[in-house]
Amino acid sequence: MESWQVRALDCFPELAKEITERNQSGPMDLMDTLYLALVKSYGANPINDDLIGRIYDYAAWCFAQPKVEDSNIDLGNTVAVGLIENLSLDKHITDDLYRWFSVETFDGCEQLLRHHLSEDEYRKLVGDFMLKKRSYSKPSRL
């Protein structure tokens, strides 16, 4: 079992079936699973902050791993393309990014966050994020 998969099983025991069965083809499939778990977490009442935090912690761990030549298995690339790029598809997620992203991470992910947005939508996202971030003092996860 690959290190990304072992770490994912440790971080997400409730997703063990998806991680071991669906994600045999590589870490990109795991990012799909994590994105869907993120959307579902925001649909819960109350939202599942614990799982949301673990997803962003796992993303941070992936970004910290050494880069590899093959972009299909490079963990930083798979998080960027398979998870971060899709965050702007869900308004609940983008409305809450200020709690999880640092300003530096948000700025560094500009092209990824823009991927599914028009220029006006992206400007609104930036404005909303910065306004909320100014009054939020807790540490970021990513």
pLDDT in tens, 5-25: 999 999 999 999 888 876 557
Transcribe 69-135 into DSSP letters: S-TTT-HHHHHHHHTGGGGGG-HHHHHTHHHH--HHHHHHTHHHHHTTS-HHHHHHHHHHHHHHHHT
* Mean per-residue pLDDT of the chain: 93
- This prediction has a pTM of 0.93
Domain spans of the chain, in order of start: 3-134
